A and B are shown apart, each in its own frame.
Chain A
Amino acid sequence: MKKNMIKVIQSKGNSRNPRRQFLKLGGLAVAGTGLMLSCSLDEEFATPLPNQEPDANSDHEEPANGIFDLGEGDLGVLNYAYALEQLEADFYTKVVNGFYSNISEEERIVLTDLYNHEVNHREFFRAAIGAEVGDKMELMLPDLEFDYGDLDFSSRDQVLNIAKALEDTGVSAYNGAGKLLTNPTYLVLAGKIVSVEARHAAAIRTLINPGSADFAGDDVVDPTNALDLARDPSEVLAAVAGLGYVQTQFTANFLP
């Protein structure tokens, strides 16, 4: 069966509005299988290398095209979560190292906490994956590189809206990935983290729109059954690729 093929590739020179692009491509991602997203105008990566097809008999651990694949099963999900946590941690590192001007004390505390939590999560996944792969370190997602293009870290609106997108995406990603995990320990660990991401999302949403119902707004919590979003990795990674911040290519050919 052919799986979605998501490429996270170079985005230097991308001048589109990050948030609009995120939403647009997030919607596009459900359009079909075999979807390949590229937001790159960079010569070097303008023509993505052909990616291998998932094949039960192939050794996906060493893809012929040299592009890292997250892998399958629990390891694939851990690498997937690790990718998201790397992005969040890196983003908040940028935020706290140059807060937008006139930031309120409350916002400074919230964003600093989010930085602390996400860095902790990132290092936790590094450790957990390290334990999982043993000496096969080539199966661990490498340190990703990021470039935020035109994102203006001195803009409160931009910082908070990207934070909101990242936190909501994290919630939907963990909610969608739970069923992919077979090891109960990992399921509980994902549960321990996702609720903190949801706490973050609510806080950021209220900072953006104080006094509103946005903390669990109808845009993320279906008002008919009150369920939060749950998304498959392909959809989440397409949305992340759409942000254009992740510079390191990887694929998720063995995740739905």
Chain B
Amino acid sequence: MNIIKFLDEFTTDNLVAKKSSRRDMFGTFGSMGKKAAMAAIPFGLATMSTKTYAQDSGNAAVDALQLALTLEYLEDEFYQRAINCRVLPDGRPTIVYQQIAKHEAAHVDFLIAGLEGAGVEPVAKPEFDFTAGGMFDPFIENGTDIETAYAQLLALAQAFEDTGVRAYKGQATNLQGTPFLTAALQIHSVEARHASEIRRLRGLKGWITGMERGEGMPEVTQAVYNGEDNLIQGGVDVTTLGDGAPFGFESSTEAYDEPITSDTAVAIASLFIKS
């Protein structure tokens, strides 16, 4: 896995969204990111152990489920803390996060039961650091103002959901021919529903255009979107299949979500895993 290269990108000081945002919170998010980055000690993430979640059981389907469980642990803890930290505004944000929190908790239980049912010991829950080494403060543990924290809660949720969609998709062939394939697909589409809603809550489209991470997303999240600009589906360049807007670059990339490998998924999750 290529965590090192990813971490190299991660330690840039460019955490600020390039464009000014249409919403104040994105602006404050940017300045917070910069401030946190300057204050943070050099990220010691390269020393992070991968043993707890980078599985190599010799069984591709088991590895796929263990990776899925790791990502669900991450999402589950994130949303549980999010709905309990009093950062979320009442109304839509709280309703949305509560619904997602409910799902991620159920996904954790479901995957643990599935692995145990298959006679496999589920991977242990890692210790998470949602500040990513001091870059974020979504739950206001370090005195961040509430607007910034909320913007970070949204941005992190978007990154986690879009990652989840891509990671499950990347494991589909490892689960092909097993009883877990359909269940994994059923989780996969739930993550996509979540992703759409979180993106739209942030004022973005529910789908991914090109490899754009979207306005207000810190540059560190770009790894979540790299490769989403693929135009070749099943060997065919889908922009050549017709004329007009449906076959333009934007629609042709929006219409297909792209998978990521285990390594990429682990590298992204590693930003938030302490041990």
Contacts and interface: CB of A to CB of B under 8 A. Distances in A.
Contacts of B189: 171, 174-175, 194-195, 197-198, 228
A199 B248 CA distance: 20
A196 B238 contact: no
Contacts of B103: 216, 221, 226
Interface stretch (B1-9, B24-32, B126-134, B168-176): B168-176
Contact of A196 (B102, B245, B248, B255): B255
Contacts of B194: 202, 215-216
Interface size class of A (residues with CB under 8 A): 35 or more
A150 interface: no
Interface of B: 91-92, 95-96, 98-100, 102-107, 109-110, 165, 168-169, 172-173, 176, 181-183, 185-197, 200, 205-207, 233-236, 238, 241-242, 245-248, 250-252, 254-259
A210 B110 contact: no
A137 interface: no
Contacts of A228: 185-187, 189-190, 193
A236 to B, nearest CB: 14
Contacts of B245: 112, 116
A223 B105 CA distance: 10
A197 B196 CA distance: 10
A227 B114 CA distance: 13
Contacts of A112: 245
A182 B99 CA distance: 34
Contacts of A131: 234-236
Interface string A104-141: 00000110110111111101101110010000000000
3 closest cross-chain pairs (CB), A and B: A226-B106, A198-B192, A116-B251
Contacts of B233: 124, 189, 192
A230 B193 contact: no
Interface in A219-256: 221, 223-230
A194 B196 contact: no
A211 interface: yes
18 contacts: A113-B254, A117-B246, A120-B242, A120-B247, A179-B182, A188-B173, A194-B185, A194-B192, A195-B188, A200-B207, A201-B196, A202-B206, A203-B206, A226-B102, A226-B105, A226-B190, A227-B183, A227-B190
Given A196-B192, A202-B206, A184 B173 contact: yes
A178 B181 contact: yes
A244 to B, nearest CB: 26
A196 B207 contact: yes
B196 A199 contact: yes
Interface in A76-127: 109-110, 112-113, 115-121, 123-124, 126-127
A208 to B, nearest CB: 13
A215 B196 contact: yes
A33 to B, nearest CB: 21
A195 B165 contact: yes
A193 interface: yes
A213 interface: yes
Contacts of A54: none
Contact of B259 (A110, A113, A192, A223): A192
A189 B172 CA distance: 10
Contacts of B96: 213, 215
Nearest to B236: A127
Contacts of B247: 120, 123
A58 interface: no
Contacts of B168: 191
Contacts of B197: 202-203, 206, 215-216
Contacts of B109: 225
